[in-house]
A = this chain, B = another copy of it.
Amino acid sequence: MQLDDRKLKILQAIIRNYLETGEPVGSRTISKYTDLNLSSATIRNEMSDLEEMGYIVQPHTSAGRIPSDKGYRLYVDTMLEERVQEIDNMKEQLESKADRIELLLQHVAKLLAVNTNYATMVTRPQYKHKKVKFIQLSEVDESSLLTVIVIEGNIVKNKIITVRELLDRETVLKLNILMNTFLTGLDLTEINMAVIQKMKEQAGEYAGLVGDLLNAIGEAVAEEDDLGIYTSGATNILKYPELSDREKASELLYTFEEKKQLTRLINDTAEDANDRGIQVYIGAETPVESMKDCSLVTATYEIEEGVYGKIGIVGPKRMDYEKVVSTLQTLMVELDEIFKRKT
């Protein structure tokens, strides 16, 4: 069967209506809702066809139709258009935070959540090779040595380590130079036993301390990985009846609270990133089990050449795709500008 123009219009009308109401849509509604001037009977015939073709489903005989995953898919693939959006204040708010990337991203998540009424998540940019840019050791007091590590993208990590013996100023200086000469420019995979061995040799009596320092650096940088996800608006999920029954809501909210599962989102969707931009996952298409009754829209932002992060919006399948996509598009442009200006 052919999906002609009229069928497409009817499908569109069904989906639009369902997005608004969340209720199955009947033929009479469409008959009035569209400007096709067709009777409900004709619509019924067309709907019957659309159902046969798999774009819509009936929850039970004698109910209206709701879009199937395939229907949504067609909708987002063919029907999305640019939408003008008033997010000027969003722009202002973002600029004020441009210098603290974590705060900025957290804020982005929040803004999106407030604007869309869906749950949102933002991942920190993932540096594939985290090169050490700079290391600074300083004595804070007699027994504490502060280690600050700056890695690519001006991400700053720090760790305080306890030293057994008092260090004089000169030793600290020496250690500083040692650490920087050896480590600056290396990424973490390059810090292998050979390098470590060499460093320890050079350090002489402070070999033990150097070991501690390296551990501290390792830990501080590793921390980065599991803390790179910011979420907001998770409770918005409870606003949608089809997601807010005990079981589903609990699972979903837990996913957002724990965040761990969300990493799969980044990894599993990373491969699609060659055609970067905005991706829509509907129902079972999502890589996270607990979202099987949701839709997920992700966007990829680029903070600098080759360094990407993801933004995701999770809502019911009857999510307002147009709004979400256009909001994301605008936001991407915004972020691009902010990052460009910075570097």
Whether the pair A158, B158 counts as a contact (CB closer than 8 A) is yes
* A residues 143-164 in Cβ contact with B at 8 Å: 144, 146, 148, 150, 154, 156, 158-162
Shortest beta-carbon distance from A315 to chain B in Å: 16
Shortest distance between the CB of A174 and any CB in chain B (Å): 16
Whether A246 is near chain B, meaning CB under 8 Å from some CB there, is: yes
Using Cβ atoms and an 8 Å threshold, which residues of chain B touch A234? 253, 257
Question: Is the Cβ of A159 less than 8 Å from the Cβ of B257?
Answer: no
In-complex Cβ contact of A148 among B148, B246, B257 (8 A) = B148
A249 close to chain B: CB less than 8 A:
yes
For A125-150 the 0/1 string (1 means CB < 8 A from B) is: 00000000110101011001010101
Give a binary string over A252-293; 1 marks a CB under 8 Å from any B CB, 0 the rest: 011001000000000000000000000000000000000000
Q: A238 interface residue, CB < 8 Å from B?
A: yes
| Chain multiplicity (copies) | 2
A181 nearest CB across to chain B (Å): 15
Q: Are A156 and B146 in contact (CB under 8 A)?
A: yes
Contact with A250, one of B159, B235, B250 (Cβ below 8 angstroms): B235
Chain B hits for A103, CB < 8 A = 223
A154 touches which one: B138, B144, B148, B154 (CB < 8 A)? Answer: B144
With both beta carbons as reference points, the residue of chain B lying nearest to A138 in the complex is identified as B136
Closest to A103 in B: B223
**Are A146 and B144 in contact (CB-based, < 8 A)?**
no
Nearest-neighbor residue (CB-CB) of A134 within chain B? B140
B253-A100 in contact (CB<8A) = no
A326 CB-CB contact with B under 8 Å: no
Which 5 pairs of residues, A with B, have the shortest CB-CB distance?
A238-B250, A235-B254, A156-B158, A235-B253, A136-B138
A133 neighbours in B (Cβ, 8 Å):
140-141
A99 contacts chain B at the CB level, 8 A cutoff: yes
The answer to whether the Cβ of A40 comes within 8 Å of any Cβ in the partner chain is: no
Q: Does A329 contact B (CB under 8 A)?
A: no
What's the least CB distance linking A56 to chain B, in Å? 28
Query: Could you give 19 example pairs across A and B, Cβ below 8 Å?
Result: A99-B160, A99-B162, A103-B223, A133-B140, A134-B140, A134-B146, A136-B146, A136-B148, A140-B150, A144-B154, A146-B156, A148-B148, A148-B156, A154-B160, A232-B257, A238-B246, A238-B253, A239-B250, A244-B246
Cβ distance A179 to chain B, nearest Cβ, rounded Å = 13
Asked if residues B134 and A138 are in contact (CB atoms below 8 Å), the reply is yes
Q: How far is the CA of A169 from the CA of B168 in the complex (A)?
A: 21
B150, B160, B239, B250: the one contacting A156 at CB < 8 Å is: B160
Residue on B nearest A119 in the bound complex, by CB: B257
A190-206 near B? 1/0 per residue, CB < 8 Å: 00000000000000000
A65–chain B nearest beta-carbon distance, Å: 27
Q: A134-B140, A238-B249 are in contact. Are A148 and B158 (CB under 8 A)?
A: yes
